[in-house]
Amino acid sequence: MGRLISLVEDGHPALPEVMAALAPHQGGAHVVGLTGAPGVGKSTTTSALITALRSQGKRVAVLAVDPSSPFTGGALLGDRIRMESHATDPGVFLRSVASRGHLGGLSAATPQALRVLDAAGFDVVLVETVGVGQSEVEVASRADTTVVVVAPGLGDGIQAAKAGILEIGDIFAVNKADRDGADDTVRDLRHMIQLGNREQSVDWRTPVVRLVATSADGIPDLVESLAAHRNWLASSGELAARRQRRAAAEVEALALAELRRGFGAECGLVPTDLAAAVASGDSDPYAAAHRVVQRLTQEPRRQ
């Protein structure tokens, strides 16, 4: 599995053959995304979740997206260090991948890496984002269930709404709930969620779970909420709809990458002279975009 994910990260030419072989074995894993600001305890929560899920006999994979070094492009592997207690468990697979400058809190290789782990037969795949703050919303389009981890003192309910996390969270986990301000954080979140549910008329009532991940307090409640959400997804038809949207986005990204390769434009589809014309005011971006589309649809692909 580690070698296959390395092939994904490197964009190896054998990937199409590999993915074709894995396709019939996919769809069984519950993909759970964990996101939140730095310092809220995502890695500690993930580690506690692994312990709880393993006690139920479930096989668990973790894809931890670490910030990239701007010099080497590699991951710092900090998340795997925090989960080292699970390293020798044959029912747990841990993998860190580098974000490599990809925005949204994930890595560009995440969709295909998830397919590898799903096909390997894991019951649950946990995806932990880099922890970059208010822009980590891409995880919602890659996971079946999104857990937003927050902590007291890191922003009020209004700030949470501005960050967009109310829209992406299927479950909220208030970690470090033994600290001052935890009750206020829970109350603010529940109030904002109630307002959002009233406006959107959604069937799923987003739970707010209190946690002290370092001592595993509240983790059983989080596991129960994950199971309840998975059951709701399956019974409502939302699971198939989310996975279809996820597949569409993945296919679109791969198609655009193939177009770039086919036209020898690995660094971009816009020619330098066209970009220069827009920058100087000799052309406008809409006309330039139209010329790019014409070029893509009329020129023969390079073999």
Specify the CATH number for the domain of residue 203. Answer: 3.40.50.300
| pLDDT at residue 199, as a whole number | 53
Query: Residue 241: inside a domain, yes or no?
Result: no
185-201: per-residue pLDDT in tens?
Answer: 899 888 888 876 655 55
Task: Read off the pLDDT of each residue in 258-270 and give the average, rounded to a whole number.
Answer: 65
Least confident of 98-102, 175-179, 244-248: 98-102
Q: Are residues 110 and 219 in the same domain?
A: yes
Q: Are residues 130 and 217 in the same domain?
A: yes
Confidence check: pLDDT of 79 > 60: no
Q: Which domain holds residue 129?
A: 2-236
Confidence check: pLDDT of 160 > 60: no
Provide, rounded to the nearest whole percent, the portion of the chain with pLDDT above 90.
37
| pLDDT at residue 99, as a whole number | 55
Least confident of 46-60, 140-154, 193-207: 193-207
Query: Residue 113: inside a domain, yes or no?
Result: yes
| pLDDT at residue 70, as a whole number | 42
Q: Are residues 36 and 183 in the same domain?
A: yes
How many other C-beta atoms lie within 10 A of the C-beta of residue 59?
19
Boundary (domain end) residue, out of 207, 236, 265: 236
Look at residue 283 and give its three-state secondary structure: coil
Tell which wins on pLDDT, 253 or 232.
232
| pLDDT at residue 237, as a whole number | 94
Q: Are residues 32 and 104 in the same domain?
A: yes
Confidence check: pLDDT of 245 > 50: yes
Ramachandran assignment for 210, one of left (phi > 0), alpha (psi -120 to 50 degrees), beta (any other): beta
Confidence check: pLDDT of 159 > 60: no
Q: d(Cα 189, Cα 183) in Å, to the nearest integer?
A: 10
Q: Are residues 99 and 198 in the same domain?
A: yes
Q: Are residues 217 and 159 in the same domain?
A: yes
Task: Read off the pLDDT of each residue in 16-40 and give the average, rounded to a whole number.
Answer: 89
Query: Residue 216: inside a domain, yes or no?
Result: yes
| pLDDT at residue 108, as a whole number | 64
Task: Read off the pLDDT of each residue in 91-110 and give the average, rounded to a whole number.
Answer: 66
Structure-token pair, residue 84: 């080292």
Query: Residue 287: inside a domain, yes or no?
Result: yes
- Residue 102, judged by CB atoms within 10 A of its CB (0-12, 13-18, 19+), counts as middle
Boundary (domain end) residue, out of 236, 261, 288: 236
Q: Which residues, other chains included, contact 44 with Cβ-Cβ below 8 Å and sequence gap of 6+?
A: 82, 175, 213, 214
Q: Are residues 166 and 269 in the same domain?
A: no
CA 258 to chain centre: 23
116-147: per-residue pLDDT in tens?
Answer: 999 999 999 999 886 644 445 667 778 999 99
Query: Residue 242: inside a domain, yes or no?
Result: no
Q: Are residues 99 and 32 in the same domain?
A: yes
| pLDDT at residue 220, as a whole number | 97
| pLDDT at residue 86, as a whole number | 84
Tell which wins on pLDDT, 34 or 66.
34
**What letter would DSSP give residue 195?**
H
Element (H, E) at 262: helix 238-262
Which residue do the tokens 């709809």 mark?
Answer: 241
The dihedrals phi and psi of 210, each to the nearest 5 degrees, come to -85, 135
Query: Residue 148: inside a domain, yes or no?
Result: yes
Query: Residue 280: inside a domain, yes or no?
Result: yes
The dihedrals phi and psi of 237, each to the nearest 5 degrees, come to 85, 0
Query: Total structural domains in the chain?
Result: 2
pLDDT band per the 50, 70, 90 thresholds, residue 69: very low
Q: Are residues 187 and 256 in the same domain?
A: no
Structure-token pair, residue 21: 């072989």
Q: Are residues 48 and 110 in the same domain?
A: yes
Closest C-alpha among 167, 226, 205 to residue 29: 226
Q: d(Cα 240, Cα 27) in Å, to the nearest integer?
A: 10
Boundary (domain end) residue, out of 184, 212, 236: 236
| pLDDT at residue 102, as a whole number | 43
Query: Residue 243: inside a domain, yes or no?
Result: no
Q: Are residues 132 and 262 in the same domain?
A: no
Q: Are residues 232 and 254 in the same domain?
A: no
Task: Read off the pLDDT of each residue in 146-164 and give the average, rounded to a whole number.
Answer: 69
| pLDDT at residue 198, as a whole number | 55
